Structure 1
Amino acid sequence: MTGDKYHLVELPMGWMVLLGGKYGLKRASLKPTPDEAIEDLGSDLDSAEDDPDAFTGVIECLHRYAEGDMAALDEIELDFSGVTPFFSAAWHACRTIPAGETRSYAWLAVEAGSPLAVRAAGQAMARNRFSLIVPCHRVIASDGGLGGYGGGGLGVKAKLLQMELGEQDR
């Protein structure tokens, strides 16, 4: 892929805008409406070209996930360039959480190498550039509460967790 490319995709759980470059997927925003998804990426789309063919493999993985293949998202190559080392470590750790399971922000801080950085772990999830693909919906508060979710609100977070739990029961 030369130059940044983007594409808007409709999924069962909402609309996702994908933005990629030569090193893989740079951003993915999942929102309830196409306008919200596009708005979330803002000026990052200004110099990008709409090219659905650039994301064939990513889109296939997203649809497989929606159809119950919980491991499909692991195949998507992500570009973490320009990200702080802690955020990168937190996002990598988040990707190891099995579908249908949850972990706390405290667990994430430990796995990212900074056990006392629980708030920073929360910020890493809040600023997740890869909605759904870095499954921040699997990270919850230590008291079992859902915490927050920027990918469409707590209702979407609960729906994603329920979908994954349902798939794990099969």
Structure 2
Amino acid sequence: MTPPPARYATAATPPGPFTVVVTTGPDGGDVVLASGWTDDVGALLPVVHRSLRPNWVEHVDRLPVLDAVDAFFAGDVTAIDDVPVRQRSGPFLEDAWEVLRTVPAGEPDTYAAFAARCGRPAAVRAAANACARNAAALFVPCHRVLGSGGGLGGFRWGTAVKAQLLEHEARHAPVAAA
């Protein structure tokens, strides 16, 4: 089955230009296939699973999903939580990406804690691989996973972007009820 065409748009964010690639979901709304801190859509398409990769993409000036990105950077760090995302891989990676969406803003996990959250505490490298292979940066918040020693670890879009995101979330994270 041939994937439907996709659309993309780029918005200015504090860490730099942020591009998002979307396709149409079953309900007619947009579903994120890939996103990241670049203004080059060509840097995003290779990370989309081949079964989801569009044959072509059309540039548009604005996508509704960018409203959630704007709200996130305006201080509503939960605005990205319900944005639909579609990624495909093996069962562990797909499950891990869903689990990543449960890591609260302002409360980052270590790779070891993330592996345990995924139900495989010994699979620290697999958990790190799930972060590295995540195509939908920000919406699947792999930036919320730190090295076991508390260091930043890696991030496809650079550790400076990761640090800026974590600092922003720490400042704006919702306060948990006591």
TM-score, normalised on structure 2? 0.81
Alignment equivalent of 1:138, drawn from 130, 133, 144 = 144
Map 1:93-112 onto structure 2 (within 5 A).
93-112=99-118
CA RMSD, 1 decimal: 2.1
How far the C-alpha of 1:42 sits from its partner, in A, is 4.4
Structure 1 match to 2:120: 114
Structure 1 match to 2:70: 63
Q: Which runs of 5+ in 2 are unaligned?
A: 26-30, 47-52
How far the C-alpha of 1:95 sits from its partner, in A, is 1.1
Structure 1 match to 2:10: 8
Native 8 Å contact 1:62 1:72 kept in 2: yes
Alignment equivalent of 1:27, drawn from 34, 45, 60 = 34
Moved over 6 A (4+): none
Give the Cα separation in 1 of the matches to 2:78 and 2:173.
11
Give the Cα separation in 2 of the matches to 1:75 and 1:42.
22
How far the C-alpha of 1:13 sits from its partner, in A, is 2.0
How far the C-alpha of 1:74 sits from its partner, in A, is 0.7
Give the Cα separation in 2 of the matches to 1:88 and 1:10.
29
Structure 1 match to 2:49: none
Deviations 1:43-95 (A, max 9, x none): 65761112345x21x11100000000011001211112x32211111111111
Structure 1 match to 2:98: 92
Does residue 47 in structure 1 map to residue 64 in structure 2? no
Indicate the larger mover: 107-116 or 135-144.
107-116
Native 8 Å contact 2:44 2:135 kept in 1: no
Deviations 1:118-149 (A, max 9, x none): 10111111111011111111100111111111
Native 8 Å contact 2:6 2:21 kept in 1: yes
The amino acid that maps onto 2:76 is D
Which has more helix, going by share of residues?
Answer: 1
Structure 2 match to 1:149: 155
Q: Which runs of 5+ in 1 are unaligned?
A: none
Give the number of equivalent residue pairs.
Answer: 161
How far the C-alpha of 1:114 sits from its partner, in A, is 2.4
The amino acid that maps onto 1:145 is G
